[in-house]
Amino acid sequence: IRVSIGRADFILAPIAVIVPNSLMGEVTPLIAEAIAGAPARKLLLPINQPHFEIVGIEWKALTKQISAAIEVIRQSVGMGQVGEAGLEGQ
């Protein structure tokens, strides 16, 4: 991750990826720093962890959060909107 993250255009992940030692220790401080410092546009999903809580954000189902993030990416790369049924016009 630390080597290749600099090549990404987008990072779509739970917010915990920028918190050292989160996700049961899977995110080391060096990985969290590499992700946070990467030039890519970061789309961080507000998923609570046992040791911290995100406040002031309306809760949505994970599938809706991911769909919204994918829509942001699609708009950013000029692919247009996707309808409720899925990838229309593909």
Question: What are the b/e assignments for 52-85, b being 16+ CB within 10 Å?
Answer: eeeeeeeeeeeeebeeebbeeeeeeeeeeeeeee
- Spans of all domains in the chain: 5-76
Which has the higher per-residue pLDDT, 59 or 42?
Answer: 42
CA-based max dimension of the chain: 43
Element (H, E) at 62: helix 62-76
Percent above pLDDT 90 for the chain: 60
Tokens linked to 34: 């590499």
Phi-psi region of 89 (alpha: psi -120 to 50; beta: other; left: phi over 0): left
Beta-carbon neighbour count of residue 89 at 10 Å? 8
> What digits encode the pLDDT tens for the residues 16-43?
999 999 888 899 999 999 999 999 999 9
